[in-house]
Structure 1
Amino acid sequence: METFLKQNYTIITHGIEFLAVLVGILCLKKYKRTTARYFIYFLIYVFCVDFIGLYPSMYGKIEWLSVVKNSRFQYNYWLFTIFYILGSILFFMFYFNKILINKTYKTAVLLIGSISFIIAVFYIVFNIDLFFIGFLALLSVLGCMSILAYTIFYFIELLQSTKILNFYKLLDFYISIALFFWWLITTPVVFYSVYNSTEDWDFVFLKWQIFMFSNLFMYLTYAVGLIVSKPITEDHL
């Protein structure tokens, strides 16, 4: 298993991510008049961020990257912190505010997202050196708490409406389920990132397994949801 992960972790992770993006692009026409189109754009955005985030593995293969290797941007932690963790807080704040109907829930989503983002920015400013060399656990917790809050509001509203009778046809249900479990499962791993080195391969393999299976679940859920769901136009939200 360890050898398999070493050789195929990146391929599997980005492969399943690309599958979800491909399905999203193929289904874009289907969802062109719905809020779901923004989610498809976000999938493409995340895939691009992940692809750019591979730059540390290119040191020695691309000559001009030597400039980056000898700078504060040597590691890709800053990239994923800004464009994935903070990006997720903001995007899903926008997305869930769009799909929720209850005004109290919509306001709560905006409030939670805004406060989390502001706290995160200040935390980065006061921990700027750590920001470039590792993941900041507090930011992952803020992201997790925000996403879980958004999805819980959605689940409560779904249970209180007649939509629950056809939940399996709702893309937002698949998105919420995938997000809820992915953040809930992966966030605790960040607290042990100090062990993420070649000196402790047992933890590295455990981390890879957790993220690989979490990503498989999340992106397959996205892909299935995009295929089987029935579009709901923004006019009917």
Structure 2
Amino acid sequence: MEFLAYFIKSNYAILYKSVEILAALTGIFLLRKYKQDLAAKLFIFFLIYVNLIETIGSYPRLIKKNEDLFWIKDLLNNTVFYNNFWWYSLTWTIGSSLFYSIYFSKVLKSKRLKLIVKRVTSVLILIQIVLYIFKFNTFMSDSITEINLIQLTLIMFVTSVYFIELINSDAITTFYRSLSFYIATAAFVFIIIQTPLDFYQNYYNSKDDNFVILNRIVRLFSIMFMYLMYTIGLIVSKPEIEK
């Protein structure tokens, strides 16, 4: 256990970044395969987008560890840009919420379910924006638990709607060839694991080594599971051409 904890602590960023890059590169390599599948292409562009926001969002770590960039660190010190909470709140929390909602709106067959997803998404995104306004100072300096939970709720909702439609359709017989199934499964499992961690984030104690280790292990394996599932899905699935 001690070796595993040390290994994950030493290689955490490399491990999760590797699976993110793997999924994006797989998508780029298979882009021609999905050239007539609009939803799949949207997903591949989302994977590229995730890598971009992760790369840009790593700037605090770079300027704090690289002596040649200490002048930037001093310049940003005591400003909202010294940390990257605001960046991930805008690009990931809202960005991923919008993506999954748009994606599943495209792959759902039922017009009624499409409408429900669009309305629920509009309400929850609006609540997120209102929370950002009323908690602006927190938004610029820290993550906001309520907003993260809304994001998780929205993603869980749209994936659940997809599963309900899948179970009640003939497509259930060939689910293993559908990219949407792999995306929904990966996102749903990720959310189920991440929600308790985000809920208890306010009680996070960096001095409790056991909690820190457990938190890192759970987060890492949930991230790796999600992106590896995305990668497998891109490889084995058949393009779905809209009629």
TM-score (norm 1): 0.94
* 1:40 equivalent in structure 2: 44
Of 3, 6, 11 in structure 2, the residue corresponding to residue 3 of structure 1 is 6
Distance between the aligned counterparts of 2:105 and 2:177, measured in 1? 20
Of 19, 28, 31 in structure 2, the residue corresponding to residue 16 of structure 1 is 19
Q: Deviations over 1:180-228 (max 9, x none)?
A: 1111211221233245464233322221111100011100000000000
In the alignment, does 2:186 pair up with 1:178? yes
Cα offset for 1:128? 1.1
Distance between the aligned counterparts of 2:211 and 2:137, measured in 1? 24
Cα offset for 1:69? 3.5
**Contact residue 147 and residue 183 of structure 1 kept, 8 A:** yes
Aligned-CA RMSD value: 1.4
**Contact residue 179 and residue 237 of structure 2 kept, 8 A:** yes
Structure 1 residues 63-142: aligned runs within 5 Å = 63-142=71-150
Partner of 1:234, secondary structure, is coil
**Contact residue 89 and residue 143 of structure 1 kept, 8 A:** yes
**Contact residue 59 and residue 69 of structure 1 kept, 8 A:** no
Cα offset for 1:101? 1.1
* Greater fraction of residues in helix: 2
Distance between the aligned counterparts of 1:134 and 1:188, measured in 2? 18
AA aligned opposite 1:169: R
Distance between the aligned counterparts of 1:28 and 1:197, measured in 2? 43
Sequence identity of aligned pairs in percent? 37
Distance between the aligned counterparts of 1:69 and 1:13, measured in 2? 28
AA aligned opposite 2:148: S
Cα offset for 1:79? 1.3
Distance between the aligned counterparts of 1:27 and 1:12, measured in 2? 23
* 1:58 equivalent in structure 2: 62
TM-score (norm 2): 0.92
**Contact residue 72 and residue 132 of structure 1 kept, 8 A:** yes
Structure 1: unaligned runs, 5 residues or longer: none
Distance between the aligned counterparts of 1:155 and 1:6, measured in 2? 36
Distance between the aligned counterparts of 1:58 and 1:19, measured in 2? 22
Aligned residues: 235
1:161–1:195 Cα change, 3 Å: same
Distance between the aligned counterparts of 2:80 and 2:197, measured in 1? 24
**Contact residue 34 and residue 41 of structure 2 kept, 8 A:** yes
Structure 1: 4+ residue segments shifted above 6 A = none
**Contact residue 135 and residue 190 of structure 1 kept, 8 A:** no
Cα offset for 1:107? 0.6
Of 139, 153, 162 in structure 2, the residue corresponding to residue 145 of structure 1 is 153
Structure 2: unaligned runs, 5 residues or longer: none
Distance between the aligned counterparts of 2:143 and 2:230, measured in 1? 26
Distance between the aligned counterparts of 1:71 and 1:54, measured in 2? 17
